[in-house]
Chains A and B, each alone.
Chain A
Amino acid sequence: MTKIVYIEHNGKSHSIDVQNGLTVMEGAVQNNVPGIDADCGGSMACATCHVYVKEEWFNKLPKKEDGEEDMLDMAFEPKKFSRLSCQLTVTDELDGLTVQLPSEQA
């Protein structure tokens, strides 16, 4: 289990133990963290699992694969440290990862 911290747009924080191998998106959806829609189910086709990664974490994450940046073009208010949480697989290295959720996903 790896601790992932999700901070809702209103500031409410959820610290969740997520099983390694799941994605940060799945960790939120399976634990009813509001603010991540994940309409397409994790196939990188919708940009509704968009999160802002804390700056200090951003460079520690696996690099974006082809297509993620294209999908982020369509996300609601993408910023410099935006990622799609369906593309972040939880591993021991991510223990303590903190992501902020946008005000809306669409």
Chain B
Amino acid sequence: MIKTDALIIGAGPTGLFTAHQLKLIGLDCEVVDNLDKIGGQCIELYPDKPIYDIPAIPECTGEELTNGLTDQLKPFNIKFHLNERVEEVKNNNGKWEIKTNKGTSFNTPNIIIAGGVGSFEPRKFAPKDCEKFEDKSIFYSIKDKTIFKDKTVSIFGGGDSALDWAIELSENSKINLIHRRDEFRGAQSTVDKMNDLRKEGKIKLYTKYQLKGVKDSESLESIDIEHDNKEVKNLKTDFVLGFFGLIMKLGPIANWGLNLNKKKINVDTEKFETNQKGIYAVGDICNYPGKLKLILSGFHEGALAARACFKLARPNEKYRFEFTTTSTNLLKRLGKKE
């Protein structure tokens, strides 16, 4: 069981700056995120898109913003638990006990939920009967590519993941690549390579088709794909891969006894505390009158929630407001003074 002053759920911009604020005022914190990397929506949804409304930064991309925030955390030693999703939150004698899907557990007086719109999960195929083959013959990510050797693999999607896997697996497998339109959004060089392999007969390409259904007896045998003009084709296949990007799901947060409003968590605007003492919500996931879904609002909310954490983490001390420009304490924590 890891003991910490505050646990932050979500390593997006708001979670990162909240961690900075906690460490600055002398509290420990650890961060959990379901993604395999730091940055949240900024890195997952728009790493290359420019952002123009971060104060004092006229223009930066989602990736640059993430890098800047990560650099700002360098003076501090913060443990990140990536690829982990918080599943369970329980109160035990006024402290919160938290368990992740990987079995990591925490004990803390403060939880700050900076979870955006929930955790990222792969988008799945629409036909309902795909579910029973999930992780058997239908996959949304690849852990062991050797299972596809000498098999027929039908890959759906039009981005880099679909194209890269079609190219890579075509060495040892028969590949059907299926996409809902003629244009691909992957890198041009990758599209060109896929087209070369198609001409060599190593990839069979079906555009303007989507998955209509699966056919099986014991195991998956074939799939039906439907053209825009309603024509249906049946393809024999051993495996099906879908690469439709990620979707945000609120997930287990819905089970923690919080006061939810649609997919948002209601908070006050003094501490950004939820209806549960010691659980705060900041950034896109919180809701209050006048809430703006701006990154800068998340920074403000995180700064205030961090101060609120102080009271529960250090009940016998008094929090004193200080500036980084002048406070010896803060400058020491930032490594700027001995």
Contact = CB atoms under 8 A, between A and B. Distances in A.
Interface of A: 37, 39-41, 43, 45-46, 48, 69-70, 73-74, 76-78, 80, 104, 106
B117 interface: yes
Contacts of B248: 39, 46
Interface residues of B, number: 25
14 contacts: A39-B117, A40-B117, A41-B284, A41-B293, A48-B247, A69-B183, A73-B159, A73-B180, A73-B181, A73-B245, A74-B244, A76-B126, A77-B126, A78-B180
A8 to B, nearest CB: 16
Contacts of B244: 73-74
Contact of A40 (B41, B158, B180, B249): B41
B263 A70 contact: no
B221 to A, nearest CB: 23
Contacts of B171: none
Contacts of B210: 77-78
Nearest to B181: A69
Shortest Cβ-Cβ A-B pairs, 9 listed:
A106-B247, A74-B245, A45-B45, A70-B185, A39-B117, A77-B126, A41-B293, A74-B244, A73-B158
Given A74-B123, A76-B126, A106-B249, A45 B183 contact: no
A78 B209 CA distance: 11
B203 to A, nearest CB: 18
B157 interface: yes
A73 B159 CA distance: 9
A45 B263 CA distance: 17
A104 B126 CA distance: 9
Nearest to B162: A73
Contacts of B49: 45
A83 B157 CA distance: 18
Contacts of A74: 123, 244-245, 247
Given A73-B157, A78-B180, A106-B247, A40 B123 contact: no
A59 to B, nearest CB: 16
Contacts of A45: 41, 45-46, 49
